[in-house]
Amino acid sequence: MTALPIRQPVRIIGIDPGLRRTGWGVIEAEGNRLIYVACGSVEPPDDLPLSSRLLAIHEGLAAILSCHQPMEAAVEQTFVNKDGVATLKLGQARGVAMLAPAMFGISVAEYAPNQVKKTVVGAGHADKQQIAMMLKILLPKAEPPSADAADALAIAITHAHHRQSTALRLKVAGL
């Protein structure tokens, strides 16, 4: 009889991109068990020009990636809103949020906001309070300082639940 392989914990960073506040949350997933590691947000000063804000987001995320050394990353996909300029600027912050882990050699998965809500709460149109309540249940030690940090933890949880199917899709696509 051979022993079953021991599952290694996987450290995951979830990133909720934004120009004013980019939330981040780090968890460890060991099978079905989720363990809170850390969370917070990168907040560049509002008076900086766009390029400097993007640089501040990158430098902040790079410091977090160096400190917590996640093995996988997940970023929330951009939803298109009525303000096209705001959507484009958010897309630039999202690009930085994807670039930072990629520069560390970390694979980056993307999840739609409704998929994150459905995974964490069970409903695709859940509000921020419902997400916060479920985070207290799923990660009792987590006390996110902002809604962006809470969203980032929810993104990390979503990746923990869907990472196997995401990896399979990438393998089938040949990426």
Task: Output the known binding site for Mg(2+).
Answer: 16, 76, 148
**How crowded is residue 170: how many other Cβ atoms within 10 Å of its Cβ?**
12
Tokens at 11, concatenated: 């450290």
Tokens at 50, concatenated: 């766009």
What residues are labeled active site?
Answer: 16, 76, 148
CA distance 49 to 53: 6
**Contact call for residues 29 and 9 (beta carbons, < 8 A):** yes
